[in-house]
Amino acid sequence: MRGMLSSLAALAAVAALSGPPGQASAQDSAPSLAISCGALGIELRLCKEGVEAWSAETGVEVEVVSTPNSSTERLALYQQLLAARAGDIDLFQVDVVWPGILADHFIDLAAYVPQAVEGHFATLIANNTVDGRLVALPWWTDAGVLYYRKDLLEKHGFAAPATWQEMTETAARIQAAERAAGNSDIWGYVFQGKAYEGLTCNALEWIDSFGGGTIVADDGSITVNNPRAEAALELAASWIGEIAPEGVLNYSEEEARGVFQSGNAVFMRNWPYAWALANSEESAIKGKAGVAALPKGGPEGSTTGTLGGWNLAVSKYSEHPELAAELAAFLTSKAEQKRRAIVSSYNPTFPALYADDEVLAANPFFGQLFETFSNAVARPSGATGDQYNRVSAEFWGAVHNVLSGQEPAEVALADLERGLMRISRRGRW
Ligand code: GLC
């Protein structure tokens, strides 16, 4: 069956129909593995190259199964497969906010490949440790950053903006001037405004940069209904149809990158992976983009960037957990992370690689923004544990309502607070 199905959705559908595998499930004579990888940009190709290098060394055949781009859809498919205890996928690429949700389905990698735990950012190892078990190895880390068109800023006499208010103003002015000069497709700002996990990441940045907290605090208290969060969301709502196209309400990472990379936006919020692609041969803006930390929410605010990133976990239902753990260790190793950083701007999870000359030559902003990467703001997945996805869905839903003009921020935040109270039984997660 494995060879025939290469989409995760098909696997999940089959697993849901057939239920948990019986004891008699056939052991292949020659062991083989299957790994789920993301496919944004050239992610899938990178995953395949890493896997092929390991296969060549070990002789073990590995199938690479691609997953939907939206992390929200990915999680739903993983949950279906894992609930059915399906062993079809041995290694799962998991988001930094999922260990608390999926931990029960994964083996303790510290017990299988202890050497692979060394040298990563300690915060990431802590993030992936649930009830004393290391359920995933860090593969790459992420933080939201601001991309800008160096050439357009220079042409119109602006510097990279220090505050969101300045970004709004600069975007509007350049957009107007460029349109007046005949560049009718240009927009000021693109970001991830669709109702999914990516919007949670964007909106957390706005709110955090205004000093409005992290939705739910580390102690579990619900803090999101506050005047700074309100001001942040009101400013973001003012962008829609003005400096950002209405369509941004349905953009995820790749749609935003498409617009920016084809030369039709002055600013973009995205993850570091967009850097290598913006500077690739196919890009209309090769050599014209700059990267900065995201702006502050006013002069009193702070620069920010939501912590993102992906990890590799091994399923408890795998028939070959030892082999799968070895593949996870290989793919998350320093050498492999260095390759991925150089070829395609994936941020390593080893602090040591931020001092590596080749990595820095390919990605100068890794050095300049080291603080942003090491102090990125975490979504409240630790405090809310296995409820995180519900919390995030309530949050992105409320934010989407504000952006689309259905509700003022004040109303949406008060409703959100009540919704989170219900999910958490009054702040006890
Ligand atoms: C990126 C981040 C991930 C986040 C996702 C949201 O892939 O690495 O952590 O959840 O974007 O779209």
pLDDT class of 18 with cuts at 50, 70, 90 = low
Q: How far does residue 154's CA lie from ligand 1's centre (Å)?
A: 31
Per-residue pLDDT tens digits for 112-138:
999 999 999 999 999 999 999 999 999
Query: Quick one: which atom of ligand 1 is closest to the CA of 70?
Result: 12
- The reported pTM is 0.95
Other C-beta atoms closer than 10 Å to the C-beta of 233 total 27
76 in a domain, yes or no?
A: yes
The confidence score (pLDDT) of residue 76 equals 96
Q: How far does residue 308's CA lie from ligand 1's centre (Å)?
A: 5
Distance CA 144, CA 304 (A): 8
116 and 57 assigned to the same domain: yes
Ligand 1 and 297: CB distance under 6 A: no
The confidence score (pLDDT) of residue 12 equals 78
**Final residue in a domain of this structure, among 354, 374, 394:** 374
320 and 401 assigned to the same domain: no
Over residues 62-72, mean pLDDT: 95
Other C-beta atoms closer than 10 Å to the C-beta of 378 total 18
Q: Are 207 and 228 within 8 A, CB to CB?
A: yes
140 in a domain, yes or no?
A: no
pLDDT above 70: percentage of residues in the chain:
96
The confidence score (pLDDT) of residue 13 equals 74
327 in a domain, yes or no?
A: yes
Per-residue pLDDT tens digits for 104-117:
999 999 999 999 99
1 in a domain, yes or no?
A: no
Distance CA 266, CA 172 (A): 10
Domain extent, residue 211, equals 145-306+380-424
335 and 368 assigned to the same domain: yes
Ligand 1 and 99: CB distance under 6 A: no
Ligand 1 and 201: CB distance under 6 A: yes
pLDDT class of 2 with cuts at 50, 70, 90 = very low
158 and 287 assigned to the same domain: yes
241 and 390 assigned to the same domain: yes
221 and 120 assigned to the same domain: no
What is the residue-averaged pLDDT of the chain? 94
335 and 397 assigned to the same domain: no
- For residue 184, give the CATH number of its domain: 3.40.190.10
190 and 274 assigned to the same domain: yes
18 in a domain, yes or no?
A: yes
The confidence score (pLDDT) of residue 20 equals 52
The confidence score (pLDDT) of residue 10 equals 76
The confidence score (pLDDT) of residue 4 equals 40
12 and 107 assigned to the same domain: yes
What is the number of domains present in the chain?
2
**Final residue in a domain of this structure, among 374, 392, 412:** 374
What are the b/e assignments for 123-157, b being 16+ CB within 10 Å? bbbebbbbeebbbbbbbbbbbbbbbbbeebbeeee
**Final residue in a domain of this structure, among 374, 394, 411:** 374
* 139 token code pair: 């593969």
The confidence score (pLDDT) of residue 29 equals 72
Q: Mean pLDDT check: name the lowest of 21-35, 121-135, 153-167, 222-236.
A: 21-35
- In one-letter notation, the amino acid at residue 101 is I
3 in a domain, yes or no?
A: no
* 159 token code pair: 């510097």
45 and 187 assigned to the same domain: no
Over residues 202-231, mean pLDDT: 98
Residue to probe by mutation, ligand 1, list 94, 197, 395, most atoms within 8 Å of CB: 197
